[in-house]
Amino acid sequence: MSQPAPAPLWRSLSFQSLPDWPAVDPTPAFLAFSRSALALLTDSAGPDAAPLRRAAEAALGEPARSSLEARRFFERFFRPFQRGEAPAGFLTGYYEPELPASRTRSVAFPVPLFRAPADLLRLSPDAPLPEGLEDAQGFARRDPETGRLSPYPDRAAIEAGALEGQGLELVWLADAVDAFFVHVQGSARLRLSDGTTMRVGYAAKNGHRFTAIGRVLVAEGELPLEAADMTGIRRWLSAHPERAPALMRRNRSFIFFREVEGADPDAGPIGAQGVALTPMASLAVDPAFTPYGTPILVDAPTLRVGDAPFRQLLVAQDTGSAIRGEERGDLFVGSGERAGTLAGAIRHPARWTVLRPVDEEAAR
């Protein structure tokens, strides 16, 4: 049997060789990178952050006051790399839903978002998985008496009452479909019945593999591929209320949340890097391939935002259950319904130009 051809290697380029670089506004990416800089300079940032620290120090010490200064910053501290001329990556979008909610259960607000349970254990990525947990996605249940590990209850079991009586309900939503999409997005901005606003963000998950219900609908002939965006999925769920719960339970993954206090109301939710996301400048990536804080020029010719094809400098600051692979990204679009409409329609091939730090001498 013949061996598959090796993946093309990343090749070093210059900014002058990127014909569209002068037309890119790097100002939002500089803001995003400045937010990453605080995390990159902490003792807990890890070895992947070390090459980015000189740029992080400069971003905090010499803020860019214009698009020109932002461009010079990236040109000074980074060098572009590409794997090929044709788009080889894939870009989707996500957003922060804005929904009504209540801190207490009522007829109007019957659907809970849960805090992380005490018996949920985050598995070490370096430790071998015990028998029976070979498919665990980072989490498992630890028996409080024996310490034995087992798979955590899946979405169907939790919705059937597996967590009842533990006081884990964080907040209550009005609609099960809205709650499902909050799980998919991993965060929400909630308008409480007392007039205040509550931000919730990802805390943990139950360790079951994520299943995209849009793919299920396409595979089973319920929707054509071109209609399986978030708008089309929601339309199908609304048109089939008797079948909707069973479909959503096909996604066995279940997300637990925490209240995010003191969040900047003008910024996005907190991403996996621990910093606030910047609309249209923050990217969720697979951190096994792309370190947080990495700037990436994403070119998606078939995606149009406004009047032009999408071409934007983004910063890796988040991840997600479905974001796997070297050139797989999820663009944070923003908050609210309009952002959700745009995010749900982004499913486009994209070329990645990764900006890697130059060595110390070259950056001077």
In three-state secondary structure terms, 143 is coil
Task: Classify residue 285 by its DSSP letter.
Answer: -
pTM of the model: 0.83
Count how many Cα atoms sit within 13 Å of the Cα of residue 10 in the half-sphere of its side chain. Answer: 14
Name the percent of the chain lying above pLDDT 70.
95
Q: Where are the alpha helices (DSSP H) in the chain?
A: 27-40, 53-61, 67-77, 155-157, 176-185, 213-219, 230-239, 244-249, 337-345, 360-363
CATH class, 96-260 region: mainly beta
pLDDT tens-digit readout, 14-31: 999 998 899 999 999 999
All structural domains of the chain with their residue ranges: 30-93+267-363, 96-260
pLDDT mean over 47-65: 93
pLDDT mean over 77-89: 85
pLDDT mean over 226-249: 95
pLDDT of residue 68: 95
Give me the chain's average pLDDT, please.
Answer: 91
> 67 — phi, psi (to 5°)?
-60, -40
Q: What is the largest CA-CA distance in the chain?
A: 66
pLDDT mean over 249-260: 97
Q: Strand order in 169-173's β-sheet? A: 111-114, 169-173, 98-102, 187-192, 197-205, 255-260
d(CA 286, CA 292) in angstroms, rounded, equals 9
Q: Do domains 30-93+267-363 and 96-260 have the same CATH topology?
A: no
Better-scored residue on pLDDT, 108 or 306: 108
pLDDT tens-digit readout, 260-311: 988 888 889 999 999 999 999 999 999 999 999 999 999 999 998 878 899 9
Report CA 119 to chain centroid distance, whole Å.
Answer: 25
First to last CA, the chain: 51
With cut-offs at 50, 70 and 90, classify the pLDDT of residue 320.
confident
* Domain 30-93+267-363, second-level architecture: Beta Barrel (2.40)
pLDDT mean over 112-121: 97
pLDDT mean over 303-327: 91
> Do residues 293 and 273 touch, judged by C-beta distance below 8 A?
yes
pLDDT tens-digit readout, 129-147: 778 888 888 999 999 999 9
Write the burial class of residue 211 (CB in 10 Å: 0-12 exposed, 13-18 middle, 19+ buried). Answer: middle
pLDDT tens-digit readout, 206-233: 999 999 999 999 999 999 999 999 999 9
